[in-house]
Chain A
Amino acid sequence: MPSKSFVVETIKRNQIIEALSKGKRLDGRGLGELRKLEIKTHVIEKANGSAMVSLGNTQVLAGVKIDKGIPFPDTPNKGLLIVGAEVLPMAAAYLEAGPPDESAIELARVVDRGVRESEMIDVASLCIKEGKWVYSVFCDVNILNVDGNLFDATSYAVVSALLTAKMPKFVLENDVVKDTGERVPLPVHKIPISVTIANINNTLVLDPTEEEEAVMDARITLDTDDGGNLCAGQKGEPGSFTPEQIITAAEWSIARGREIRQKIKEAAGHG
């Protein structure tokens, strides 16, 4: 998330753009290449699920808490799935503690939609008693170190944490919700994978670092599902894309999405 106080040296900006004109990036990656992705699950044993993800130097930690809750009035028989994200002030020098700013809110909402609208979790099967009790699944993400592409890193952490979460099995006994003590996995329908592409001087690059984000004109995040369909999208930053660039971005997202999904499944032990 480029911040007003993060100024990139002009020399560096020129180096980035010059390298791009030759199809290269400063860290040696190809335009469509992802940084090193590391995923560790079950890191917070007290939580129902958790995942620590590092994408290059960007590091995030997601935790899942599952309990009983009251359904929304318009969806009396659907479980609750709420995804939140907080960029911790320790994650970068220019951040200060305080309520989330518009970038942080956008991050949380985009990741939330990516998981919810893709119907990753079958919330219809998370009902305990219609209109009264449902399962409520909270996934909270703490960003620990910022180096670009918080969208994808956060999304991979959320997906990995949900995939490996252990849900309590509740039953109704005389209208009272009881925890049977059994632990089961969440009902996962599909695995959405988020891929973010930046437009720097009309060249598309995948998984931008913080430096690249500081010189980018626009970014687009596209989520794909197991069937290679697009299921969520968000364009951001005050620049633009041509329609052709957006199609290219979609193609990259589908191709990289497949590889990343495989990696996440392996890390979750579902490989």
Chain B
Amino acid sequence: MVEITRKQVIPGDVIVTGDYRPGMFVQRRGNDMVALRIGLAEIIRNDVKVIPLSGAYIPRTEDMVVGKVVNVTGYGWEADINSCFVGYLPGQFVFGRDFSPSTHDLTTRFTVGDLLLAKIEAFDRTRDPQLSIRGPGLGKIPQGEIVKITPMKVPRLIGRKGYMINMIAELTSCEIKVGQNGVIVVDGTPEGVQKAVRAIQLIEQEAHMADLTTKVQQLLGAPIGAPPTEAAGPENSGEQ
């Protein structure tokens, strides 16, 4: 059992004073731990961090994202990944090493307007994020309802080891693809999709509150307190 203290903070607020370790979005000033964003500060033992409630998606390598193709160049596809940088999927990654613009027409695979579930293959401070679709479940998303949420709230939507998103998918019989960039695609029956979308919107609105699991269960008509399904996948899986 561990004690967690949570505090609502805005940038500049002193969260706590003393011998603590500053984590995400926290800066030490003398003995003060100062918040750098609006969000929920969490103090667990000696660690202080802020879970932000707003903010743009900053790409990270290995992240799964849902991107929209906005341009086809000679050598690859440019995708809007809901970030300040445009993602780039090289033609070589799709057509293989012998890819060349003279022999391969990129639009035969993906064209402007297509949605892709992709992985951030490479990204650093000097260049735009590079995408890849090598991996299970990656590639063009053919259909589904598109939902956008604040990227900062995606971890809440996925849940520890994916339990929240798996619960929603199970209870609504939907296939849900979640991008770390806040873009989500839900596919299923019209009723199932509607329920899943409402659950996602509930999480977006109440991400900062406790009892989120109970509220979602209530919304989806599941028995309250039913143990969440442990997911087999990695913690931040982009897919259910």
Binding site for B on A (CB under 8 A): 5, 7-14
Contact A7 B114 (CB under 8 A): no
Contact B112 A11 (CB under 8 A): no
Q: Give the contacting residue for A11; candidates B70, B80, B141; CB below 8 A.
A: B141
A262 to B87, CA, bound (A): 49
Q: Residues 133-151 of chain B: 1 if any A CB is under 8 Å from the residue's CB, otherwise 0?
A: 0000000011110100000
Nearest CB in chain B: distance from A19 CB, A:
12
Known: A7-B80, A10-B111, A13-B113. 10 other contacts (CB 8 A): A5-B70, A7-B68, A7-B69, A7-B112, A8-B113, A9-B115, A10-B115, A11-B143, A11-B144, A12-B146
A8 to B68, CA, bound (A): 9
Chain A residue with Cβ nearest B142: A11
Nearest CB in chain B: distance from A153 CB, A:
23
Chain B residue with Cβ nearest A10: B113
A234 to B55, CA, bound (A): 41
A13 to B113, CA, bound (A): 9
Nearest CB in chain B: distance from A138 CB, A:
38
14 cross-chain CB contacts under 8 A: A7-B69, A7-B80, A8-B113, A9-B68, A9-B114, A9-B115, A9-B146, A10-B111, A10-B115, A11-B141, A11-B144, A11-B146, A11-B185, A13-B113
A243 to B70, CA, bound (A): 35
Max count, chain A CB within 10 A of own CB: residue among B69, B111, B113: B113
Nearest CB in chain A: distance from B81 CB, A:
13
Nearest CB in chain A: distance from B3 CB, A:
42
Q: Residues 169-197 of chain B: 1 if any A CB is under 8 Å from the residue's CB, otherwise 0?
A: 00000000000000001000000000000
Chain B residues with CB below 8 A from A8, complex form: 113
Nearest CB in chain A: distance from B54 CB, A:
15
Chain A residue with Cβ nearest B69: A7
Closest 9 pairs between A and B when the two form their complex, measured CB to CB: A10-B113, A7-B70, A9-B115, A9-B68, A9-B113, A10-B114, A11-B115, A11-B143, A7-B112
Nearest CB in chain A: distance from B112 CB, A:
6
Nearest CB in chain A: distance from B127 CB, A:
21
Nearest CB in chain A: distance from B9 CB, A:
27
Chain B residues with CB below 8 A from A10, complex form: 111, 113-115
Within 8 A of A (CB), among B100-158: 111-115, 141-144, 146
Chain B residue with Cβ nearest A15: B145
A34 to B170, CA, bound (A): 38
Max count, chain B CB within 10 A of own CB: residue among A7, A8, A9: A9
A11 to B80, CA, bound (A): 15
Chain B residues with CB below 8 A from A9, complex form: 68, 113-115, 146
Chain B residues with CB below 8 A from A12, complex form: 146
Nearest CB in chain B: distance from A99 CB, A:
25
A5 to B70, CA, bound (A): 8
A5 to B78, CA, bound (A): 12
Chain A residues with CB below 8 A from B141, complex form: 11
A37 to B143, CA, bound (A): 32
Chain A residues with CB below 8 A from B69, complex form: 7
Chain B residue with Cβ nearest A6: B70
Chain A residue with Cβ nearest B112: A7
Max count, chain B CB within 10 A of own CB: residue among A10, A12, A14: A10
Nearest CB in chain B: distance from A17 CB, A:
13
Q: Residues 59-94 of chain B: 1 if any A CB is under 8 Å from the residue's CB, otherwise 0?
A: 000000000111000000000100000000000000
Chain A residues with CB below 8 A from B113, complex form: 7-10, 13
Chain A residue with Cβ nearest B113: A10
Chain B residue with Cβ nearest A12: B146
A226 to B112, CA, bound (A): 45
Chain B residue with Cβ nearest A7: B70
Nearest CB in chain B: distance from A192 CB, A:
38
Chain A residues with CB below 8 A from B80, complex form: 7
Nearest CB in chain B: distance from A131 CB, A:
57
A175 to B31, CA, bound (A): 75
Nearest CB in chain B: distance from A164 CB, A:
37
Nearest CB in chain A: distance from B140 CB, A:
10
Nearest CB in chain A: distance from B193 CB, A:
11
Chain B residues with CB below 8 A from A7, complex form: 68-70, 80, 112-113
Chain A residues with CB below 8 A from B68, complex form: 7, 9
